[in-house]
Amino acid sequence: MTIQVGQQIPETTLKRIREGIETVDTHALFAGRKVVLFGVPGAFTPTCSARHLPGFVEQFARFRDRGVEVYCMAVNDPFVMKAWAASQDVPDGLLMLADGNGELTRALGLELDASASGMGARCRRFALYADDGVVRGLWVEEPGQFAVSGAEQVLAHLP
């Protein structure tokens, strides 16, 4: 079942690369913060690279001005996420999080079977807004669509 507004972000771990690979706990990532987490089916995929991530990169300062952190997540390994961030000129502070085993994706109820495309289990395209770990806004795309989870759309619906 898909996570709903009013529910707590599930506790799992994700990976990111800085000086080395770090394991980060979702409760620690979201506690005491206003966060937009957006998920994509895959790093370097067409819509993700041409529209979804670039929109959040372009609007990053506007989120920060509103006191909102921005996190990007995909069911990819941390090395891929780091390379994708570098290729997209992701600013410092926009966290690129690897859900390599799909644990958070499954816990959120946002898994996507992309086996027909040779991609296996992935994350549906979505964005959510959480305040202190509680989901306050949720925008989940229909498969193959990019209409409700972009940066401009999310900014328009933040409190």
Domains of the chain and CATH, by start: 13-157 (3.40.30.10)
Task: Find the largest Cα–Cα distance for the chain.
Answer: 41
Tokens, residue 92: 């410092």
pLDDT band with cut points at 50, 70 and 90 for residue 9? very high
Q: Which residues pair with 35 in a beta bridge?
A: 69, 130
Active site residue 72: no
* Res 127: pLDDT: 98
* Res 131: pLDDT: 98
pLDDT at 116 over 90: no
- Cβ-based neighbours of 88, under 8 Å, separated by 6 or more: 49, 53, 54, 57
pLDDT at 47 over 90: yes
Among 37, 48, 97, 110, the one annotated catalytic: 48
pLDDT at 103 over 90: yes
- Mean pLDDT over residues 38-44, rounded? 96
Q: Which of 144, 141, 132, 16 is nearest to 74 (CA)?
A: 16
pLDDT at 18 over 90: no
CB 87 within 8 A of CB 79: no
Percent of the chain with pLDDT over 90: 91
pLDDT at 19 over 90: no
Q: Which of 104, 86, 79, 112 is nearest to 14 (CA)?
A: 104
Higher-pLDDT residue of 128, 20 = 128
* Res 117: pLDDT: 85
